[in-house]
Chain A
Amino acid sequence: MPITVNSQAGSATIALSGEIDHHGARTMMGQLEDAIAQILPMRLTLDLSGVTFMDSSGIAVLLRALRQMQQLGGSLRVTAIPVQARRVLDAAGVGRLIPLE
């Protein structure tokens, strides 16, 4: 299971893990969308500590989660970003849209 969910009192943390490439992104997007729709958090944290590889497909996953959270009127932040994933996000300027911690 590439995502695990932990939620309480309007906040949720969802941990993504494994390799996020085009091959796995569609499944991960679907799971993430379902989890957000079920929990309806006001504050969502995506924990990337278990991500072993990420390419630009991961950016699409994060932007999709951002759009969903914006529709809910909530906020999104991304934490525990491994070095390789961080460099991908920085190269694409994702930090201008989503707080990266």
Chain B
Amino acid sequence: MKAIDQTTIVFSSRSANEGFARSCAACFAAQLDPTLDEVADIKTAVSEAVTNSIVHAYPDRLGRITLRLRLLEGNVLEVQVKDSGVGIPDVERARTPLFTTGSEERSGMGFTIMESFMDSLKVRSAIGKGTTVTMRKRIARRTGGAR
């Protein structure tokens, strides 16, 4: 699908960048004139995806995370979070609610929340190569939004 607008941000897998990534996504989405609830949904989903990369993709080193934001036809926001980390051995299992390989700070609800807060979620992963999470959300048209 053709992108009307697009931006890509690359940052290090430091946990301090979780808030940075959320803010970037919210700022990019602002051109769609989203409601506060829609902005909150986007920020929450981005936070989950980026945290997964920070915690699981690079468990013992810092790596690179790429956040690609695209505005697609039909007022659709696409968020892609890509890492070049260890990969997920079993994506279906990882998407199961409460499943986590993380420490006790993790609840195992990340993918469940991404699914609930966005319209679609795709996860592609290859062991030793990395993981790409792609989410889309249609923002309801309101007066004053980008056209």
Interface residues of A (CB under 8 A from B): 19, 21-23, 25-26, 29, 53, 55-57, 59-60, 63-64, 83-84, 87-88, 91-93
Taking residues whose C-beta sits less than 8 angstroms from the other chain, chain B's interface range is 20 to 34
Please name all residues of chain A whose beta carbon is closer than 8 Å to the beta carbon of B66 when the two chains form the complex. Answer: none
21 contacting pairs across A/B (C-beta < 8 A): A21-B22, A21-B47, A22-B15, A23-B15, A23-B16, A53-B22, A53-B44, A55-B44, A55-B51, A57-B51, A57-B107, A59-B109, A60-B107, A84-B44, A87-B44, A87-B116, A88-B44, A91-B112, A91-B113, A92-B107, A93-B97
Please name all residues of chain B whose beta carbon is closer than 8 Å to the beta carbon of A21 when the two chains form the complex. Answer: 15, 18-19, 22, 47, 51
Contact A64 B40 (CB under 8 A): no
A19 to B19, CA, bound (A): 9
Known A23-B15, A23-B18: A83·B106 in contact at CB below 8 Å: no
List the B residue with the shortest CB-CB distance to A64.
B104
Instruction: Select one of A22, A84, A87, A93 contacting B105, CB under 8 A.
Output: A22
Interface membership of chain B positions 67-92, coded 1 if the CB is closer than 8 angstroms to chain A and 0 otherwise? 00000000000000000000000000
B57 to nearest A CB, angstroms?
13
Contact B113 A25 (CB under 8 A): no
Known A21-B19, A84-B40: A91·B105 in contact at CB below 8 Å: no
Please name all residues of chain B whose beta carbon is closer than 8 Å to the beta carbon of A83 when the two chains form the complex. Answer: 37, 40
Please name all residues of chain A whose beta carbon is closer than 8 Å to the beta carbon of B25 when the two chains form the complex. Answer: none
Majority SS at the chain A contact face: helix
List the A residue with the shortest CB-CB distance to B51.
A22
Chain B contacts with A in 43-71, Cβ cutoff 8 A: 43-44, 47-48, 51, 54-55
Contact A91 B51 (CB under 8 A): no
Please name all residues of chain B whose beta carbon is closer than 8 Å to the beta carbon of A92 when the two chains form the complex. Answer: 97, 107, 109, 112-113
Contact A63 B47 (CB under 8 A): no
Known A19-B19, A21-B47, A22-B51: A91·B117 in contact at CB below 8 Å: yes
7 extra interface residue pairs, beta carbon distance < 8 Å, beyond A23-B18, A55-B113: A22-B55, A23-B15, A53-B44, A56-B110, A57-B105, A60-B104, A84-B40
A57 to B15, CA, bound (A): 12
